[in-house]
Amino acid sequence: MAKLMSEQVILAFSSCPDETSAAAIAKGLVGAGLAACVSRLPAVQSTYVWDGVLKDEAEVLLIIKTVAAAVPALTARLTELHPYDLPELVTIPVNGGNEPYLEWVRRCAMPKD
């Protein structure tokens, strides 16, 4: 049986400048019920252009496990918590996996009405 679109499990990615901000964001999103889990990957090297300047920076990458229905509120909360002027947030749908794990994500991250 197909899941409702709002129950679609999503992986969201966001980079942070340091472990302190990454931990605060992870705790804020999980604590608010907007994510089931946030994994933090330290020592990610990002190369990008910002304000016309080529940057090469060490960052911490967040991998956020959530559901589609939570993405708007998650985006708003991430923007509030994030130290960057323009926080990265990209999402991709999860099309398969360990179904008991995916059900756990749905239970933990489903927005409360």
Query: Looking at residue 110, what is its pLDDT?
Result: 76
CB 109 within 8 Å of CB 34: yes
Query: Looking at residue 6, what is its pLDDT?
Result: 59
Measuring CA to CA, which residue among 80, 78, 99 is closest to residue 90? 78
DSSP summary character for residue 34: S
CATH class belonging to 15-109 = alpha beta
- Predicted structure pTM score: 0.91
3-state SS, residue 47: strand
The domain ranges of the chain are: 15-109
Query: Looking at residue 9, what is its pLDDT?
Result: 97
Does the pLDDT of residue 3 top 80, yes or no? no
CB 11 within 8 Å of CB 65: yes
Question: For residue 90, which amino acid is it?
Answer: V
Quick: pLDDT tens for 29-64: 999 999 999 999 999 999 999 999 999 999 999 999
